[in-house]
Structure 1
Amino acid sequence: MKSFFKNYKFSIILLGSIILGAIIGVLLGSKALVLKPFGDLFLNLMFMVIIPLVFFSVTSAIANMKGMKRLGKIMASTFVVFICTALAASVIGFIGALIVNPARGIDYSALKKIVTAGGGAADKVKQVGLLQQIVNTLTVSDFVSLFSKSNMLQLIVFSVLFGISTSALGEKAESVAKFLEAASNVMMRMVKIIMYYAPIGLGCYFAAVIGSLGPQILQGYLRVFLLYIVISVIYYFGFFTFYAFLAGGKIGIKTFWKNAVAPTITALATCSSAASIPVNLECTKKMGVSEDIVETVIPLGANIHKDGSVIGGVMKITFLFGLFGRSMISPTAILSIIFVSFLVGAVMAAIPSGGMIGEMLILSVYGLPTELLPIIAVISVIIDAPATVLNSTGNTVASMVISRLVEGKLTFEKKYGIIENK
């Protein structure tokens, strides 16, 4: 019980403050808006650090990456599998959200004022084609625009190029790489300090949101949670079984489920993909995956392969679409939702505080005001545990598929035949 509280301590406190804020919002109604400045204080503190945090986190991660030359067949197969499974996760998440639409029935008239205050950017996004939207989303016309929190993805593109350039120079830019790493650590410590105020700030902001929107938004969150649980169960039992079958047929399925319990329980108990790495390493080896593949894929997957987070990204985007009555069925909308959720869940997972940065990215891409950050941040809190299970356990079955691609059919089937005979 103590270990459970230790692992979930901050999440429990944060969830408790949000629930308390919701109760206050329901009881006080519009009077709860008096608490909004306390929430705005937290948002402004986060907005203040978001630009340097993103820049130093991304550039440091790439500039200090070791062994970039040793990609080979393992790395190529790894990224193919990671991309395919993440896309599968985004598609099933989108289908579920399309069927249920968690935000249906919520009066979003109060939110229109926020959008208007944000300059009506959401409407501007609708007026351009897909290609132009991609150009506008990935680039800016001048350097100064990179320092706006509304241009998050453009900043990430610049940071990636800066990190690659630093890494390519090797020893010539070693001092720059060390500076980036130190600056990244400083920014992470600053975020940690600010997060001590998060329960108060988010609680007050949520009280104001409930006070202005009414308790019906709570029904939306409940539908998001229930929908996510259903999708998680389908993905966990259905898709993981399918991936295991692709890897080793019926024997692959049997071997995977025989060794999947420990990684699942560990992920659920610790609520951390990183904390699950030791157990995942041990159990994946028992699944018949070669040691070099296991030791490459599992640590890498804990950082950049998070199917649960991809589905969570879909939930956040479609929830906002539902709140503002935007269509989710146009080809442009479908492609953008799948692409952005993949980016949020798979790419942002490699960056410290990637969840918050991912949420800012969603708002930036769709031209929505940053004041909506707490509304989708709540979704991260309520889906945290099941998302971690999909993120962490998904790496073990992905390792099986990668092993099949790397070692070939005959070698892999022989290996599974040996396991079966044992």
Structure 2
Amino acid sequence: MNILKNYAFTLCLIGGILIGGISGVIFGEGATIVKPVGDVFLNLIFALIVPLVFFSVSSAICNMKQSNMVGKVIRNIIFVFMATALIAAVVAYTFTLFYNPLEGIDKTDFLLNTVQQVQINQLSSSEIFVNTFTVSDFTQLLTKANLLPLIIFSILFGMATAFSGEKGKPVADFLNAVTNVILKMMNMIMYAAPIGLGCYFANTVGRLGEQILNGYLHVFLLYLMLTCIIFFGINSIYVLLAGGKKGLVSFWKNMLTPSLTAIATSSSAACIPVNIEASKRMGVPANIAETVIPLGTNMHKDGSVMSAIIKIIFLLTIFGQESMVSSNMFMIIGVALLVGAVVGAIPSGGMTGELLICSIFGFSPELAGTLLIIATIVDIPATLLNSTGNVVCSLLVTRLSEGKDWVKQIATENVD
């Protein structure tokens, strides 16, 4: 009975998503009838994302600054983000050398049937840089499309509050109090998750099924295989390094709800609240969880890096330039890191990433539409890796910032 009580919500969530997935397979595009229900649920969550990011990041930075930890934690975050993204890129690149997603496909007919005409809105490098990190007006921060500028603003606000000393203490208390209230609101909304996520997932499966089968099945299967390797294998290695065997048990014990939320929503932003909560249950300090998770949502995208590798290999192969795959390893991995970790932070950055790949490797911008189809069909597993990878990073940052003994102690408490 205790097991049923403890996992009742998770079982309901699994049931809702399974029913939604089966409905999407059976009814196809007819499943869009339940889309409004899923949209209402997601809109409730999205409405809380901006205040949650602002208050949680500001309060976390303020608390860390007061304990003189902020510099060390930020350095560790950057190191962990870069290292895990690089490993994901190398794994994806290595596997594409052994499994060609276009093997056995008539490439001429494939191109004729899939090349899309797209509207090109190319940005200069300076415009990309400015749009990535800043907005021109405060009101533009109040949208989830500009999360990275909002995070930078929140970090500065938190540091300014901490530097204000006693005069800033009322503001620091207010930030902490509002963060707790918003997290409570999110918990209330999540009671509707089994129905809301189930309906949204039904629409997603019904909409994507035909695209996956229309010439891109091999690409999808390759990405699923890579997803399993990273999600179960590489992530487990990271967690073992962070917290040992007991930390690993604690990790997988608390990862089901964040994973299901990522799969059902295909939105890393929507997963911020559940990822923060899961990280805290694993023993990650609140100030680290509330900094790593929001920042990682924009800057740490292992799934997108892997997707970029496949897109580049896809183009080189379909135009008969397979020799470039093995001779340009560093260039391919470098571009994938740029597309996945930097361009992904730009509002509507997806198409910018596709255009960047085409431009660097000398292909027509019209092929960006074809790459966008690949991004669409791998969006669910990519979101799973992008989102849950942030939880893994919070554990690694905790390990580097707090020390091995601390992590072992927390892991023991969680398992016991």
Same-fold call, TM > 0.5?
yes
Quick one: which amino acid aligns to residue 343 of structure 1? L
- Structure-1 separation of matches of 2:273 and 2:139: 30
* Structure 2 partner of 1:366: 361
Alpha-carbon spacing, 1:352–1:223, altered in 2? closer, same or farther (3 Å): same
Alpha-carbon spacing, 1:297–1:329, altered in 2? closer, same or farther (3 Å): same
Q: Is the 8 A contact 2:131 2:346 kept in 1?
A: no
Alignment of 1:132-211 (within 5 A): 155-157=124-126, 159-160=128-129, 176-178=136-138
Determine if the alignment matches structure 1 residue 298 to structure 2 residue 293: yes
- Structure-2 separation of matches of 1:183 and 1:219: 35
1:86-134 CA-to-partner distances (Å, cap 9, x unmatched) read: 1111111111211111123444457999xxxxxxxxxxxxxxxxxxxxx
Alignment of 1:245-324 (within 5 A): 245-324=240-319
Tell me, what secondary structure is at the counterpart of 1:276? helix
The CA deviation at 1:414 is 2.8
1:220-242 CA-to-partner distances (Å, cap 9, x unmatched) read: 51110011111111111001100
* Structure 1 partner of 2:376: 381
- Structure-1 separation of matches of 2:93 and 2:314: 11
1:12-64 CA-to-partner distances (Å, cap 9, x unmatched) read: 9xx96xxxxxxxxxxxxxxxxxxxxxxxxxxxxxxxxxxxxxxxxxxxxxxxx
* Structure 2 partner of 1:325: 320
Tell me, what secondary structure is at the counterpart of 2:216? helix
Alpha-carbon spacing, 1:181–1:400, altered in 2? closer, same or farther (3 Å): closer
Q: Is the 8 A contact 1:244 1:253 kept in 2?
A: yes
- Structure-1 separation of matches of 2:139 and 2:383: 32
Quick one: which amino acid aligns to residue 76 of structure 2? S
Alignment of 1:396-415 (within 5 A): 396-415=391-410
Structure 2 unaligned blocks of 5 or more: 1-12, 30-56, 113-119, 147-206
RMSD over aligned CA atoms reads: 4.0
Determine if the alignment matches structure 1 residue 343 to structure 2 residue 338: yes
* Structure 1 partner of 2:167: none
* Structure 1 partner of 2:94: 95
TM-score (norm 1): 0.61
Q: Is the 8 A contact 1:151 1:364 kept in 2?
A: no
Q: Is the 8 A contact 2:132 2:345 kept in 1?
A: no
Q: Is the 8 A contact 2:89 2:336 kept in 1?
A: yes
Quick one: which amino acid aligns to residue 76 of structure 1? R
- Structure-2 separation of matches of 1:183 and 1:292: 23
* Structure 1 partner of 2:72: 73
Alignment of 1:52-71 (within 5 A): none
TM-score (norm 2): 0.62
* Structure 2 partner of 1:213: none
Q: Is the 8 A contact 1:106 1:323 kept in 2?
A: no
Tell me, what secondary structure is at the counterpart of 1:368? coil
- Structure-2 separation of matches of 1:184 and 1:284: 22
The counterpart of 1:237, out of the listed 227, 232, 239, is 232
Tell me, what secondary structure is at the counterpart of 1:352? coil
Quick one: which amino acid aligns to residue 268 of structure 2? S
The CA deviation at 1:411 is 2.4
- Structure-2 separation of matches of 1:275 and 1:185: 12
Q: Is the 8 A contact 2:250 2:282 kept in 1?
A: yes
Q: Is the 8 A contact 1:229 1:386 kept in 2?
A: yes
Alignment of 1:96-135 (within 5 A): 96-108=95-107
- Structure-2 separation of matches of 1:319 and 1:237: 25
- Structure-1 separation of matches of 2:106 and 2:345: 36
- Structure-2 separation of matches of 1:84 and 1:361: 23
Q: Is the 8 A contact 1:318 1:328 kept in 2?
A: no
Q: Is the 8 A contact 1:267 1:389 kept in 2?
A: yes
- Structure-1 separation of matches of 2:220 and 2:367: 19
* Structure 1 partner of 2:329: 334
Alpha-carbon spacing, 1:111–1:416, altered in 2? closer, same or farther (3 Å): closer
Determine if the alignment matches structure 1 residue 83 to structure 2 residue 78: no
Alpha-carbon spacing, 1:312–1:330, altered in 2? closer, same or farther (3 Å): closer
Q: Is the 8 A contact 1:327 1:333 kept in 2?
A: no
- Structure-1 separation of matches of 2:305 and 2:75: 21
Alpha-carbon spacing, 1:303–1:374, altered in 2? closer, same or farther (3 Å): same
Alpha-carbon spacing, 1:230–1:331, altered in 2? closer, same or farther (3 Å): closer
> In percent, how many aligned pairs have the same letter?
41
The CA deviation at 1:418 is 3.1
Tell me, what secondary structure is at the counterpart of 2:84? helix
The CA deviation at 1:311 is 0.8
Alpha-carbon spacing, 1:328–1:417, altered in 2? closer, same or farther (3 Å): farther
The alignment covers a number of residue pairs equal to 299
Tell me, what secondary structure is at the counterpart of 2:259? helix
Q: Is the 8 A contact 2:145 2:347 kept in 1?
A: no
Q: Is the 8 A contact 1:86 1:342 kept in 2?
A: yes
Alpha-carbon spacing, 1:290–1:112, altered in 2? closer, same or farther (3 Å): closer
Q: Is the 8 A contact 2:80 2:396 kept in 1?
A: yes
Quick one: which amino acid aligns to residue 87 of structure 1? L
Q: Is the 8 A contact 2:247 2:408 kept in 1?
A: no
Quick one: which amino acid aligns to residue 390 of structure 1? L
Alignment of 1:9-28 (within 5 A): none
The CA deviation at 1:351 is 1.4
